[in-house]
């Protein structure tokens, strides 16, 4: 089940419980990790920030087949979102079981899938 909010936030539920929150790269609220803006940044900068953050803090990294990067121990998956001619970062906050699941991890944010 998916719930869309007017402020660029999408919530995804699994058996009635919140499983994922996806923020729109442009209209979603801005969130920061150690001062870095996770929404609306250039994808290469976002990935480099996550790599550096993981090295500094000992986070567990996971790449997905679409070259997204996740800090699994934080439940953070950083996807790219096409916005006109630009490609920007889109953060998703995901429960551990979905990050552990190849299906969910590789299909998040589940828009347009039968999820």
Is the pLDDT at 10 greater than 60? The verdict is: yes
pLDDT digits (tens, 9 = 90+) for 32-51: 999 999 999 999 999 999 99
Question: CA 75, CA 78: separation in Å to the nearest integer?
Answer: 10
- Return the closest-CA partner of residue 91 out of 35, 17, 18, 40: 40
Q: Chain-wide mean pLDDT for the chain?
A: 91
Q: What is the pLDDT of residue 21?
A: 96
pLDDT digits (tens, 9 = 90+) for 58-102: 999 999 888 899 999 999 999 999 999 999 999 999 998 998 888
What's the pTM?
0.90
Q: Taking the alpha carbons of 42, 93, 113, 69 in that order, is the dihedral positive or negative? A: positive
- Residue that the structure tokens 């087949």 belong to: 65
Q: How far is CA 8 from CA 11, 24, 56, 63, in A?
A: 10, 5, 31, 25
């Amino acid at each position: 089940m998916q719930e869309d909010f007017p402020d660029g936030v999408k919530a995804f539920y699994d058996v009635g419980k919140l499983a994922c929150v996806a923020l729109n790269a442009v209209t979603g609220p801005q969130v920061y990790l150690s001062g870095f803006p996770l929404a609306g940044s250039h994808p290469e900068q976002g990935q480099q920030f996550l790599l550096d953050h993981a090295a500094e803090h000992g986070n567990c990294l996971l790449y997905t087949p679409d070259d997204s990067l996740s800090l699994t121990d934080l439940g953070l998956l950083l996807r790219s979102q096409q916005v006109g001619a630009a490609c920007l970062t889109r953060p998703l906050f995901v429960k551990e079981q979905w990050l552990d699941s190849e299906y969910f991890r590789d299909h998040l944010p589940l828009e347009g899938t039968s999820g």
